[in-house]
Structure 1
């Protein structure tokens, strides 16, 4: 896919996420792998609802910033996902409300932060790790992601927000939407005795769709 089409797609999906209230202000960031092995990245301090395709940050295959505005301060976490998940073609990070709320609750399981409530949560998101709190832009965040050794396509950053990597931008956005909706369900169902999928049901989905779940 050409750079120009990738730029248009980034701005389209960023606008969609912003318009639906999944990230606000100048929060959130997106990166996409380009055909030559580089990256297109949303700039720092810019609303996802007001991106200019021509001003997106462009990195070459060696990780050098070669054009566009200064990139998001969260470049270390994006880079860590690309390094540890070779299949990743896009990374999306938001501050979506329900996912953030789930990351703050003391009972949230660090190994399985988003409960497997639906087949699509398992299929599109997989098992989600909860990482500790880091100051935004802290390189320690990237080290925590590297510590997962590519076993997770999605994480919750404590008191911060979700990050999802997938094969392309559309898939990453769909996974992020599924993660947020599942977090919302988890909060709505707290204390009701509602049952998530059991191990056998999860196994059926994992095998059919080759989901990272171990």
Structure 2
């Protein structure tokens, strides 16, 4: 994808996330890899009103090349690119139900999105809960680096979700799938829902062409 096309897609997909309530105010940030670096939404920018020319551009070493200053949470984006070579985009949202889930004290930190549907297994995979740190703290990036690329998605405690994908659309779809599953889990919390069995999860993982390390790109039909 050319830089111009990447800027256009970033504006378009960010706007639709904002318009559907996946982000409010200036919450959330999105990045996409391009040939000579990285595009990322600017600090304090609203996802619903991005301007192509103001999107921040960084080189591969993280140096600011053009546009407004990058999101203060650039560290978590660069950590995914560094540890998951297949990453083409990263989406960080403060969407309602994923954030609700990140605030609960009794979720499994090793796998905080239960395998409720096949699509959360294929698109998102196992989601780790990372401890709370102040937004913009470089420790965010260090915690993701310590995962060594084993997860395509994490929940930041009391904060929101971060999802990596092979390209911008895949990352957005995975972030949406995570949010929808968090909503279903919240609605079903007192009903003891039937989850996919370990055998069913293993079958989905085996059939996914991107393997268990990156389950974010299965088409939904």
Cα RMSD after superposing both structures: 0.9
Q: Does 1:49 align with 2:48?
A: yes
Q: Distance in 1 between matches of 2:65 and 2:193?
A: 51
Q: CA deviation at 1:2?
A: 1.0
Partner residue, 2:83: 84
Partner residue, 2:176: 177
> Contact 1:122/1:211 (CA < 8 Å) preserved in 2?
no
Q: Does 1:27 align with 2:27?
A: yes
Q: How does 1:1-150 map to 2 (within 5 A)?
A: 1-36=1-36, 38-150=37-149
Q: Distance in 2 between matches of 1:100 and 1:62?
A: 31
Q: CA deviation at 1:46?
A: 1.1
Q: Distance in 1 between matches of 2:201 and 2:111?
A: 13
Partner residue, 2:189: 190
Partner residue, 1:154: 153
* Length, aligned pairs only: 212
Structure 1: gaps (5+ residues): none
Q: CA deviation at 1:212?
A: 2.6
Deviations 1:72-129 (A, max 9, x none): 0001111111111111000000000000001111111100011110000000000000
Q: CA deviation at 1:165?
A: 0.4
Runs of 4+ in 1 over 3 A off after TM superposition: none
Q: Distance in 2 between matches of 1:135 and 1:104?
A: 14
TM-score (norm 2): 0.94
Structure 2: gaps (5+ residues): 215-221
SS at match of 2:49: coil
Deviations 1:131-175 (A, max 9, x none): 000100001111110111100000000000000001000000000
> Contact 1:99/1:156 (CA < 8 Å) preserved in 2?
yes
Q: Does 1:212 align with 2:213?
A: yes
SS at match of 1:25: coil
